[in-house]
Amino acid sequence: MEEFAIIAIGVPMILFMLFVAPTWLILHYRSKRQLGKGLSENDVKDLQILADRAEQMSERIKTLESILDTEHPQWREKV
């Protein structure tokens, strides 16, 4: 009976140490390395495109507000 208990605990422990633990460690440190790198080249390009579009939108909004201020001076009170 005692041998069965050792096998029942030992076999899963060995399987865990051989397969699960190394995979877990590899994936953990791979993700840590990717976080440490920062943004990828693609991410930087996408971020720059978004920043440019935001600047364009801001300029368009200012233009539209100036047109509305000229044509309908009380428009801000209605909103």
Biggest CA pair distance of the chain: 93
Domains in the chain: boundaries: 1-38, 39-79
Sequence-ordered list of residues with C-beta below 8 angstroms from that of 69, at least 6 positions apart, any chain = 75
Is residue 45 within 8 A of residue 39, CB to CB? The reply is: no
Whether pTM exceeds 0.85: no
Tens digits of pLDDT across the chain (79 residues): 677 777 888 888 999 999 999 999 999 999 888 777 777 889 889 999 999 999 999 999 999 999 999 999 888 887 6
